[in-house]
Structure 1
Amino acid sequence: MSQLLQTRAKMTDDALVLEGQLRECYGRVVYSHKTHEKCADILLKRHGLIKVSQIVLSALVTGGIISTFFGTGNCGAAVSVVLSTMLLALNSYTKDYDLGEIAQKHRHAGSNLWIIREKYLSLLTDIRVGDVPLDVVRERRDELTNELHGVYAGAPSTNYKAYKKAQEALKNLEDMTFSNDEIDAFLPQELKRNSALSRQQN
């Protein structure tokens, strides 16, 4: 904690204000990225259910199963009409709304937001290290703002359900959070932080 306070003491007021703005931007991009991912997941799941329903209804309507169980009288005809109407409604819905295509657009937006998210993180790191002039930081910030505008302009709208799932993943499941041990597991021995700390202490 003392090292963090010393680092902050070295930062100018302007740098702190700029860092605060970039932290806000970073947080919004993190949520947007995860929300688009969750939107894609929801739509793909719905798309799969609709496809299965279409197959089942089509088999029931055209396969003679209805007449086998309900006969060819009024009861069988009524059931056949209901199922045919349901199938027609699903076919019309998928014709107007290609859920697979919309899900792919969400995936594409999420991919574009991911790289912007990483650029914000790198920029925040550069500010904290203090070896980048603030004019350069502002220029990069403005470039990222324009990049974000381009992504949001071409991205499909998200929904509240996806936002809540994103919030659950980020806050409770800690999708964006790793412990030192978890990160060390991915790195070679020379780059492991806990090993380096233990060597320093010894």
Structure 2
Amino acid sequence: MSPKENYKLALEAQIREAYGKIVYSQTCHHKMAERFYKYNRRWKWVQIILSAIISCSIVSILFYDEFYSKAISAVLSGVLTGINLYLKNSNLSEHTKEHQKVAHELWKVREEYVSLLTDLDELDKSVMVKKRDELQNRTYEIYKNAPKTDSKSYKEARKVLKNEEEQTFSKKELDLMLPPALRKNKTNLR
């Protein structure tokens, strides 16, 4: 194998590895966004439920001057105040948006890596290097401002990418998504 062919193979290997890293990062940010969204939604429901219980306790105080209604209202009001302070300072919805934004930006870069890998045999070496460098620079700009992910999101990403093949489709699945005229296998799809 000539040095030129070796270089092209090494370049392709580097591009494939960069693609893999982008897929993992994009999936990690997507999982972080999902988790922050779920946390935020759960805490909002807790707020609503506690507010309803407190309201009922206060209404019962108006009709029945019982100690337990006052005690329940006081304790739950304190708990609700604590939750409100936590949610005010945690910015869960803002974290969700930040991770969603990064995941969307990385998705675009990921798709461009797929296109580059698809076009490799048709591209001149200098064009491949230029496109690779552009993608690396764009990736750097995204990472530079991106919020950090955690080990839990990485484990979730690994699980869905390796075991559940979240970012891939079978040929049959792809055919079912396409309009009938574009399907490869026009029979036995269902």
Instruction: Using the TM superposition, give the Cα deviation of residue 134 of structure 1 relative to its aligned residue in structure 2, in angstroms.
Output: 1.1
Cα RMSD between the aligned structures? 2.6
- Is 2:19 the partner of 1:15? no
- Is 2:91 the partner of 1:98? yes
Alignment TM-score, normalising by the size of structure 2: 0.84
Instruction: Using the TM superposition, give the Cα deviation of residue 132 of structure 1 relative to its aligned residue in structure 2, in angstroms.
Output: 0.8
Instruction: Using the TM superposition, give the Cα deviation of residue 77 of structure 1 relative to its aligned residue in structure 2, in angstroms.
Output: 4.7
Instruction: Using the TM superposition, give the Cα deviation of residue 184 of structure 1 relative to its aligned residue in structure 2, in angstroms.
Output: 2.4
Contact kept in structure 1, 2:57 and 2:69, CA below 8 Å: no
Percent identity between the aligned chains? 40
Distance between the aligned counterparts of 1:58 and 1:192, measured in 2? 54
Please list the CA deviations of residues 139-185 of structure 1 after superposition, one character each: whole Å capped at 9, or x if unmatched: 11111111111111222221222222221211111112222222223
Distance between the aligned counterparts of 1:189 and 1:80, measured in 2? 61
Equivalent residues in 2 for 1:16-165, closer than 5 Å: 16-64=9-57, 72-73=66-67, 76-127=69-120, 130-165=121-156
Give the aligned length.
183
Q: Name stretches of at least 5 consecutive residues in structure 1 with no aligned partner.
A: 1-7, 196-202
Instruction: Using the TM superposition, give the Cα deviation of residue 76 of structure 1 relative to its aligned residue in structure 2, in angstroms.
Output: 4.9
Q: Go from structure 1 to structure 2 and tell me whether the alpha carbon gap of 1:59 and 1:20 turns closer, same or farther (over 3 Å shift).
A: same
Distance between the aligned counterparts of 2:59 and 2:82, measured in 1? 19
Contact kept in structure 2, 1:39 and 1:106, CA below 8 Å: yes
Instruction: Using the TM superposition, give the Cα deviation of residue 65 of structure 1 relative to its aligned residue in structure 2, in angstroms.
Output: 6.2
Q: Go from structure 1 to structure 2 and tell me whether the alpha carbon gap of 1:49 and 1:189 turns closer, same or farther (over 3 Å shift).
A: closer
Q: Name stretches of at least 5 consecutive residues in structure 2 with no aligned partner.
A: none
Q: Go from structure 1 to structure 2 and tell me whether the alpha carbon gap of 1:96 and 1:142 turns closer, same or farther (over 3 Å shift).
A: same
Match of 1:185 in 2: 176
Q: Name the SS of the counterpart of 2:177 in structure 1.
A: coil
Q: Name the SS of the counterpart of 2:53 in structure 1.
A: helix
Q: Name the SS of the counterpart of 2:165 in structure 1.
A: coil
Alignment TM-score, normalising by the size of structure 1: 0.79
